Structure 1
């Protein structure tokens, strides 16, 4: 009889140990927070945005979130969040590989999110494709994604950064135009500002553009979409716009960069900066080394309180 009671007690203790919040090995952190996994690696996630179906994104969590310090089921010091938007006719998985942000995430400790566009496109205003034609609320989707991660305490709301390539770069511009209060800085690579823009506060920006880009020409030109023959504006127009919003000098000072063939200049004040990197001979591609330069720029520019 005593043996049966002893076995029962052991089983009861084992069950009790399994019924609480699942926890990872590191620092006793929970396995999920607000339904979002916290274990190291890349996780495919779904997000209900209140419309038919759902939207998806990849979330890369570094091995050491908050330096391994957790308190009350939340990171003691929530990390930064970098949201990376793929180009047209691409996917979240391709953007993850293109940027190499996962390696930087593991090294620097920020969260990396790679959302999927609608039928491989983003509604960046006058571009592009199915997302534009369907008037998809991509601003709402990305805002909800940011809110989910910051609201759960997994990311620092003052250090949210959005970067993108091509159509995704145009979407980064649109987010800064319509949700500047959610974003500290944007990183634009081979994209154009093709949406009405009336931000109520300045946003830091780093803009890369190749002089030999034939898809989104450096000096402007081409056509905005399959059903819109208007030319893209020159890259310099967006630079001038964001500097004007921030009250910055129109001409920046030269800064060093590790990106090959890139000439960068930046102007900044009161914690806001706009940097413009011209890639001599650069085509419509993500410049090697640009991700590390973008992260350094992001890290230096949290959102002003």
Structure 2
């Protein structure tokens, strides 16, 4: 039930957000030569015997040791849509690389990210690690400034990657996502890491009160405030800043953490499972994500 709803609403709300709100090119870690672009417009590489797809955006005159942002689509998503969301525009202005990987179908044949879910046995964790290692090597990108962000299911995966592999990902930004139940249950092994969370307070698909069904492994994490409190403690933040960015958006920024690690929570009133626009937040989501990442 939850999976079906998530499929429909995530896809619909994302496309609506693109219309009213607002590529190019994987590799196995040992394969330094991308294959020819396939019929879907992606470059492909072999990971564990499976051809995986991605789009890579490299701005002109990209400096050596530039940062890399991994931007993940939502459940039922298509990386080609998310490449049009605006992150490439920000990359051109701020000079960082962006990769838009494509998820594989789960048991329902829905493109997804396996954020320790129960929908497939796909090793997306290993895939993303291999992908970024290859891109860092091939394009001279900064392994110490590689970040992960995503929408909905992509936000779930962002938490999983930075929770389990902070040595590969410097910080994470989740847009209308949260932690999967399994990632939350493994939280005690986590290390200090900067976190940005953007949530709609009226989201019925990924509710901020933590009431998402555990079916498929989605739910199981607590409410958003409890998750933020956990990261505040983990990062040992010292100060709190509360800013009313607009009539509908409140920003909570917790600063002064270990190695400068901060925790940011942006809450949008009367907003559901859609990517918030600049009209609602006072800033475009992708600009906010880079503003956060650029601090590290």
TM-score with structure 2 setting the length? 0.76
Report what 2:166 is aligned to.
180
* Residue 279 of structure 1 pairs with residue 279 of structure 2: no
State the Cα deviation string for residues 157-187 of structure 1 (Å, max 9, x = none): 1111100111110000000111011111111
CA RMSD of aligned residues (A): 2.3
Question: Which one of the candidate residues 143, 148, 151 is aligned to 2:134?
Answer: 148
Larger radius of gyration: 1
Q: CA deviation at 1:96?
A: 1.4
Aligned residues of 2:34 and 2:45 also touching (Cα < 8 A): no
Report what 1:267 is aligned to.
254
Question: Which one of the candidate residues 190, 212, 216 is aligned to 1:222?
Answer: 212
Report what 1:253 is aligned to.
241
Taking structure 1 as reference, are residues 192 and 179 closer, same or farther at Cα in structure 2, changes over 3 Å only?
A: same
Q: How does 1:1-305 map to 2 (within 5 A)?
A: 34-35=32-33, 44-50=42-48, 52-66=49-63, 77-97=64-84, 99-119=85-105, 120-125=111-116, 127=117, 132-194=118-180, 195=183, 196-225=186-215, 227=216, 233-249=222-238, 252-255=240-243, 257=245, 261-269=248-256, 270-288=259-277, 289-301=284-296
Aligned residues of 1:217 and 1:232 also touching (Cα < 8 A): no
TM-score with structure 1 setting the length? 0.74
Would you say how many aligned residue pairs link Structure 1 and Structure 2?
Answer: 244
Q: CA deviation at 1:141?
A: 0.6
The runs of 5 or more residues in structure 2 that have no matched partner are: 1-30, 36-40, 106-110, 278-283
Q: CA deviation at 1:138?
A: 0.8
After TM superposition, the runs of 4+ consecutive aligned structure 1 residues lying more than 3 A away are 227-232
Task: Name the structure, 1 or 2, with higher relative contact order (CA <8 Å, separation 6+).
Answer: 2
Q: CA deviation at 1:230?
A: 5.3
The runs of 5 or more residues in structure 1 that have no matched partner are: 1-32, 38-42, 67-76
